[in-house]
Every structure is written in C-alpha cells, then in structure tokens.
Amino acid sequence: MKASSYLERVRAYYEATWWDYRAVWQNKESLAVHFGFYDAQVNSHLASLEHTNRFLANLVGLQPGMDLLDAGCGMGGTCLWLAQHIGIRAVGITPVPSQVRFARAAAQKRGMSQRVRFFEADYCEMPFSDATFDCVWACESVCHAPDKRRFYREAWRVLRPGGKLVMAEYMRTRRPLSERQEQLLQQWLSRWAIPDIDTPLEHRQHAQSVGFYQIALQDQIVYVRPSLHNLFQQVQRYLWLGYLLYWLRIRKRAAHDNHVGSFYLWQALQAGAWSYLTLVATKPVGSANE
C-alpha cells in the first residue's frame, strides 16, 4: 500500500469517527482516544486513561526536561498530560488535520503552547532532524502502518543515542491464526483503518533490524481488558440503534463501520486472536544514524 493511500484512509477514518470518540470515549480532561490501564487503585474510566500515560512513562523513566515525540498523538491529550505532570517538552504528530487543529487549540487554552507543539505528519517519514528526541512514544498508532518496519526505522533515526522507544499496541497472537480467529480479526481491523497487526516476534524483529537493543515486550491485557470490555458493553447496548440509523441513512458508513468494528474487537480478543502488549527498546549509545 502506498503511503498516500494509507494516510488518506487513516484521515478519512478519524474525520468520520470524530463524534464517536468525543461522545463515547473522550472527556475534556484527558482528551484520550486510547484504552485505559486498570489496577487495584484505578477503577474509573478517566483514571484509567490517565494511568495509561503514567504506566508507559514509568516504563521508560521519563524525566523533566526530556524531549518526547508522540507518533500518532490523536487529540494531543498524552502530550499535554506528560508536559503538565512530568515536565517534558513534547511534539505530537498525526496525519489528521482536524486533530492537529484541536490539539493546538487545547494547548493554547491550557497555556502550554511553548512546551507542547503539534504537526500534521507521517510517522513513517518524519519531518525532523536525526537525533532530536530522548523518547519516541506510540500508543495504539503503529497498527495503522502497512509496513511497521518503516516506523521503527524512523523512530531509531530521530532518537538520540541512548534514547528509548515505548509503544502500546495491538498484536496478533500468532501467524497464521485459525480461520475463525482470522475472520474475527479482519472484521475488526478492516473497519478501523488497520491493514494488519503483527505478532510480538515480528515487532521484535523489526526493532532489531534497524538497530534497537534491550527490547522488552510485555503482555498487558490484564490491565487493559476492563477498558476493552467497557467499550464492548457500550457498543453492544446500542448496536441495534447503529444498524437502524445506518439503514435510515442517518449515520454514515465509516461511523457505522467503527461501531461494528468495536464489537468484533472484543470477539477477536475472546477468541484469542490478539492481545495488548507494550514494547520498550533502546538506541545504543554511540550509534550513528544510517
């Protein structure tokens, strides 16, 4: 798939589902479009969304004054949270123009425009110089890339020596899956503008192939499952209404597909087709960019 084709598909998906994310998932505080991490101390939707940021930040040891790139920043919520609560400087990129406008407005409203910046860009071809950032952050965004290795190559390039990549991502449990597992998986992915998801081993190989080391993959589904089930319950409750509105041509195809895809996300998880993992990798000190 050409870069322009997948970017156009991603833009169209997020533009069409803007209302869904705002009405069903997001809130004015977190501005999050990702899933939440639950544990014994975290038992609410808002707290879980913020805990995702805290959890990933702890994995890589973010410190005040660090420069971070959020590759696939959505509405900018993570960048703003990390800048406010940890004291980093952040740059967020997304190929979706409306998300850039929203994120910039949110940064200005919160008085953080000098510390957090947002740009329209492709994370497989970043408009930044080599060795610019201490951390590259990607939360549920690399799934949209047809060739995930291109993302890893760019992440490695823009990181400073000793810098870290941290990801939270959907990963298929194996390749090949059973016929039923693959069908359920594609019923979800095809509706969320996701061409495919890779296995943990494939992600490790991508990271190693471009020069990363100290690669750590951890399955975090136990923390994320309540958030996934929360979405499933909301989707299941109004699935009939979604079909009715689509049949009456009140609801557009892309928004309807997003709704139905969310139903199959849970079905594919229950069938063992995929899981939710974090990946942390380091760019070696003393390494030179290719």
Task: Over range 84-107, report the average pLDDT.
Answer: 96
β-partners of residue 71 are 93
Q: Is the pLDDT of residue 96 over 60?
A: yes
What is the three-class DSSP state of 235? helix
Per-residue pLDDT tens for 22-43? Answer: 767 656 677 888 999 999 899 8
Task: Say whether 278 sits in a helix, a strand or coil.
Answer: strand
pLDDT of residue 91: 98
Phi, psi of 146 (to 5 degrees): -65, -40
Cβ(62)–Cβ(47) below 8 Å = no
Domains present along the chain, CATH in parentheses: 3-173+196-221+274-282 (3.40.50.150)
**Predicted confidence (pLDDT) per residue in 36-80, tens digit:** 999 989 989 889 999 999 999 999 999 999 999 999 999 999 999
